Amino acid sequence: MDNNNLVRQLCAIVGERYVLVEKEDVIVYEQDGSIFQVMPEIVVLPADVEQVAAVVKTAKQAAVPVVPRGSGTGLAGGAVPAEGGIVLSLARLDRILRIDLENGLAIVEPGVINLDLTKAVAKDGFFYAPDPSSQAACSIGGNVANNSGGPHTLAYGVTTNHVLGLEIVLDDGQVVWLGGEVPDTPGYDLRGVFVGSEGTMGVVTKVIVKLMRNRESVRTLLAIYDRMDDATRAVVEITGAGIIPAALEMMDRTTIEAVESGAPVGFPRDAEAVLLVEIEGLREQTERSVQLAYAICEQSGAREVRLARDETERQRLWKGRKGAFGAMGSLAPNYYVNDGVVPRSQLPEIMRRVAAISKKFNLRIANVFHAGDGNLHPNILFDMRAPGELDRVIEAGAAILNACVELGGSITGEHGVGIEKKAYIGLLFSDADLGAMTRVRTALDPDGRFNPAKLFPTPAGCGEVRRQPAQIPAGLWI
């Protein structure tokens, strides 16, 4: 089928207004939150599940890829149309369809913004737990695709722990449900398989999520350190003491500089690191845990420990943490955010290795990360215009991921694999492991048209990419 005929068919499904083909219209879809860019051929914005199914069926008949896209905040190139085809934007599927507080759940469409769901139930004392730093902009569907986490992952888990069921469109346009409104539905846990599949198995059109009640007491403290080693050791000691904070976040001196240069919140610029500890629960339990965490921070070498006096001060601290990524623009024209993971006990060592990598490649690296679950976010600062600098950035990122794996960790904690890390997935899995995963994907997407060139190492064989730089698909530029 030629493109003109395909465009006519798509216009008949969703209306001419919602099929974009002109460069000035599609250019805004050429990139997500990563550094990868591809100009889309066609962008389609369906309004409901019936239109999604019809678009997918038409794409199958035309033998063109389909790349599902949420808000475009992903950081691994997952929403970039690496092999052309149709970018299927789900932005118009943005309704909260049902809120059931008695059973602690909501049914939403994939385009619903993460934070809007919490806002919708906040007055009733509920919230939606997964809270990526981009929660004011990211979509629930995108969170499902990447199994997103956030600062409160340590206590509440990632997206898969809060999704009960999914309505999805398969490659032939069939609409099916995985899971349901109750936990532990019988049969294979295909809901669990689908969450985190990065758009490679189908298109999510409805999500049943759990809602949680607000905790009776929330206390937040800020510990200020002159040595990164002391700060990372405090993380190990806090969790080792049996305290499970709702959040345990860390920022280094460079990140503090970025935050305080943009929208200052009172982080000390001369500190080597700050540790943000948030504890929730019953009031008596929270007070005991806060006192213990306070003492551990002091004993581990904190030069100062501040306890947020009220909700206003607490929100100011979190404003600084959640605004950290956006603040990087005050330090450099571009930044490349990594997403490796290590066991908590290896935090002191991995931070020493990141510092060594920064020195080796002569690149400034700002560290802001979910210390409680060892999920690092080294932000490599650079200038895309400087000749050869991007190559060094990618090499430095690869060195960090290799170091994480060597220390018993992983190449991603919440951003997904996408294009960015697909060449490194062989560091974690054998050819047999990857072959089994590929067969699962093929069972749901036999033609390989859903979000191709993502997640798995291609076109090289799995064994060929164990220690190789990322392979960039033809037509992709960064």
Mean pLDDT of 174-197: 94
Mean pLDDT of 42-64: 98
Number of helices followed by number of strands (H, E) in the chain = 15, 18
CA angle 148, 218, 241 (to 5 degrees): 80
pLDDT bin (cut points 50, 70, 90) of residue 297 is very high
Q: Check whether 180 has a pLDDT greater than 70.
A: yes
What domains lie within the chain, and their CATH numbers? 3-89 (3.30.43.10), 96-213 (3.30.465.10), 217-327 (3.30.70.2190), 331-465 (3.30.70.2740)
Query: What's the confidence (pLDDT) of residue 262?
Result: 86
Torsion, Cα 121 129 215 280, to 10 degrees, reads -160
Query: What's the confidence (pLDDT) of residue 2?
Result: 75
Q: Check whether 245 has a pLDDT greater than 60.
A: yes
Q: What percent of the chain has pLDDT over 90?
A: 93
What average pLDDT does the chain have? 94
Query: What's the confidence (pLDDT) of residue 458?
Result: 67
pLDDT tens-digit series, residues 11-26: 999 999 999 999 999 9
pLDDT tens-digit series, residues 90-107: 999 999 999 999 999 999
Measured N-to-C along each axis, helices 3-14 and 49-62 cross at an angle, to the nearest 10 degrees, of 170
Query: What's the confidence (pLDDT) of residue 469?
Result: 40
pLDDT tens-digit series, residues 417-430: 999 999 999 999 99
Q: What percent of the chain has pLDDT over 70?
A: 95
CA 255 to the chain's CA centroid? 19
Mean pLDDT of 45-74: 97
Query: What's the confidence (pLDDT) of residue 3?
Result: 85
Query: What's the confidence (pLDDT) of residue 185?
Result: 85
Amino acid at the residue 177: W
Q: Dihedral of CA 351/329/138/101: which sign? A: positive
Mean pLDDT of 410-420: 95
| Confidence (pTM) | 0.93
Query: What's the confidence (pLDDT) of residue 464?
Result: 33
What is the H or E stretch that residue 452 is in? none
Mean pLDDT of 445-452: 97
pLDDT bin (cut points 50, 70, 90) of residue 118 is very high
Q: Check whether 461 has a pLDDT greater than 90.
A: no
Phi and psi, residue 184, nearest 5°: 60, 45
pLDDT tens-digit series, residues 331-358: 999 999 999 999 999 999 999 999 999 9
pLDDT bin (cut points 50, 70, 90) of residue 40 is very high
Q: Which residues pair with 274 in a beta bridge?
A: 224, 251
CA distance 374 to 195: 21
Q: Check whether 381 has a pLDDT greater than 50.
A: yes
Query: What's the confidence (pLDDT) of residue 471?
Result: 46
Query: What's the confidence (pLDDT) of residue 107?
Result: 98
